[in-house]
Amino acid sequence: MPGQRSIAEAERLAAARLGGIPVRHDQMAVVANIYRAASAVRQHLENSVLRGVDLTWTAFVVLWVIWIWGESETRHVAEEAGISKGTLTGVARTLESRGLVQRADHPTDGRLVLLSLTDEGEQLMQRLFPAFNEEESFVTGQLSDADCQTVAEGLRRVVLQVEENGEKRRQDLLGGAAPAPRRSGRRKA
Amino acid sequence: MPGQRSIAEAERLAAARLGGIPVRHDQMAVVANIYRAASAVRQHLENSVLRGVDLTWTAFVVLWVIWIWGESETRHVAEEAGISKGTLTGVARTLESRGLVQRADHPTDGRLVLLSLTDEGEQLMQRLFPAFNEEESFVTGQLSDADCQTVAEGLRRVVLQVEENGEKRRQDLLGGAAPAPRRSGRRKA
DNA sequence: ATCGTATAATTTGGGCCCGAACAATTCTCA
DNA sequence: TGAGAATTGTTCGGGCCCAAATTATACGAT
């Protein structure tokens, strides 16, 4: 994990490298630190409470979503966990094979699949969540409760900005042109 | 992308589900929002400025690091980019095949490999960075400069806490036991 | 000079990740 | 009622991700 010194240094070097072009430093610092913090927190959680039960961060988040919301349609779980439908299919398969999650057909809509925790999955989350929250407290240990609220609120605004205005923004950037297709990915048969 | 309403709702449901067990809400909210913001920002950047030049977020970060720091040893690039050495090997290979990065042997230490941008890579970054920074400004558009500084500073403390105390913390949690090995991964031949 | 020991990058296995293509089902409306 | 549009979950190709194992090099001490 890179030290903080390097962020300031990188910003200085970047400014030098850009010459006359203006750089929004404060905004750059927010994005850089969001990314660093996310990596650091994920790494810590995976190597502390999750490692022992052989769960990845994503697998835990999926379990968490199903635990909190109860039996749910997969599209809802994917949305809430912040992963694509395709990714969820794979993660759910893994969790199902581990006996933590079970799938069921929707009673009236044949397109839907419902996910729920098994008893074992339920017990695991009961046991795991307090330990997880304990580490959430550890990583935020240098922040007061008020600091936490301030930071969380700032991050909420970032999320909200992207959620509410991101799509329009991306369209405007393209100026009516069709979005570039991914070079990787499935091709027509 | 899940709405903010669901975070508050999830916290409420989580509290209910945990019954008597105390939950550190503010700390939970910070971690949850760090992760959401990181996903949202990455998604927006990949689907706006990066998509057109067929770069992933990680590939861009690696280019950025080499651009800012100049020719660098791979271990330094990996550290600074926040990815493992093994991952960097693959990403560097991709970038090399695209003609954006070149590798060179270290003049005196045969173990080291140096990475630098090609002319094409240099030109790409000159062109790309302003657009990238523009989107960093967009995603933080609901925050004032002062807000940005506050949020960045809070996140810095989270990173610092994990960097400085994370390893000890993880050892303490294990209580002297050997860390659980990953179930996945390479096995002895 | 040679034998460990330390450190570098790479390889490798299992898994996550996206988004386009696809198959199955439901909805819509003429 | 029936054909097309819409929506769901799955498949799939290319790529990232980690950490352990491996290989190669450097260096210190005999």
Read off the pLDDT of residues B36-55 as tens digits, 9 standing for 90 and up.
999 999 999 999 999 999 99
Residues B36 and B8: their CA atoms lie apart, in Å, by 13
Same domain, B108 and B46: no
Nearest chain B residue to A129 by CA distance is B18
| Domain end among B53, B77, B97 | B53
Helices (H), ranges, A82-139: 85-97, 119-139
Same domain, B71 and B104: yes
Same domain, B95 and B125: yes
Same domain, B4 and B59: no
Same domain, B91 and B105: yes
Residues B146 and B162: their CA atoms lie apart, in Å, by 25
Is residue A2 very low, low, confident or very high in pLDDT (cuts 50, 70, 90)? very low
Neighbours of A159 (CB within 10 A): 25
Mean pLDDT of B1-13: 60
Same domain, A16 and A60: no
CB-count burial class (<10 Å; 0-12, 13-18, 19+) for A37: buried
- For residues B132 and B60, is the Cβ–Cβ distance under 8 A? yes
**How high is the mean pLDDT of chain B?**
90
Same domain, B26 and B62: no
- Name the minimum distance, in Å, from the CA of B79 to any CA of chain A: 6
| Domain end among A100, A115, A132 | A132
Angle B162-B168-B169 (CA atoms, 0-180°, nearest 5)? 65
Mean pLDDT of A20-32: 89
Nearest chain B residue to A53 by CA distance is B180
Same domain, A120 and A77: yes
Same domain, A29 and A87: no
Which of A1, A21, A23, A30 to mutate to test binding with chain B, by most B CBs within 10 Å of its CB? A30
Sign of the alpha-carbon torsion through A44, B89, B128, A183 = negative
Is residue A7 very low, low, confident or very high in pLDDT (cuts 50, 70, 90)? low
Helices (H), ranges, chain A: 4-18, 25-45, 57-69, 74-81, 85-97, 119-139, 145-174
Q: Number of C-alpha atoms within 13 angstroms, CB side, residue B157?
A: 17
Residues of chain A neighbouring B3 (CB-CB closer than 8 A): 163
pTM over 0.95: no
pLDDT at A18 over 90: no
Domain count, chain B: 2
Which of B126, B136, B147, B149 to mutate to test binding with chain A, by most A CBs within 10 Å of its CB? B136
Contact A67 B18 (CB under 8 A): no
Does some domain include residue A31?
Answer: yes
Mean pLDDT of A130-148: 96
Q: Is A115 helix (H, G, I), strand (E, B) or coil?
A: strand
- For residues A101 and A121, is the Cβ–Cβ distance under 8 A? yes
CA of A176 to C1' of C17 (A): 28
Question: Which nucleotide is nearest to A55 if distance is taken from CA to C1'?
Answer: C15
Alpha carbon distances (Å) from A123 to A99, A120, A126, A128, B18: 12, 5, 5, 8, 12
Same domain, B38 and B82: no
- Name the minimum distance, in Å, from the CA of B48 to any CA of chain A: 6
| Domain of A12, in residue numbers | 1-53
Whole-number pLDDT of residue A35 = 95
Same domain, B59 and B49: no
Contact B27 A136 (CB under 8 A): yes
Whole-number pLDDT of residue B177 = 75
Q: Across the strands, what pairs with A162?
A: none
CA of B54 to C1' of C8 (A): 31
Same domain, B65 and B120: yes
CA of A47 to C1' of C24 (A): 41
- DSSP H or E run through A116: strand A113-117
Residues A7 and A183: their CA atoms lie apart, in Å, by 31
Enumerate residues 6+ apart whose C-beta is below 8 A from A60: A45, A50, A128, A132
Question: Which nucleotide is nearest to A89 if distance is taken from CA to C1'?
Answer: D10
Does some domain include residue A176?
Answer: no
CA of B91 to C1' of C5 (A): 30
Whole-number pLDDT of residue B2 = 44
Residue recorded with tokens 């304990």 = A134
Mean pLDDT of B107-112: 93
Nearest chain A residue to B22 by CA distance is A130
Does some domain include residue A157?
Answer: no
Enumerate residues 6+ apart whose C-beta is below 8 A from B27: A133, A136, A137, A139, A140, A148
Angle B10-B13-B17 (CA atoms, 0-180°, nearest 5)? 135
pLDDT digits (tens, 9 = 90+) for A43-66: 999 999 999 999 999 999 999 999
Whole-number pLDDT of residue B7 = 63
Residues of chain B neighbouring A52 (CB-CB closer than 8 A): 180
| Domain end among A35, A53, A71 | A53
pLDDT digits (tens, 9 = 90+) for B55-101: 999 999 999 999 999 999 999 999 999 999 999 999 999 999 999 99
Domain with residue A115: its CATH number is 1.10.10.10
Does some domain include residue B177?
Answer: no
Does some domain include residue B174?
Answer: no
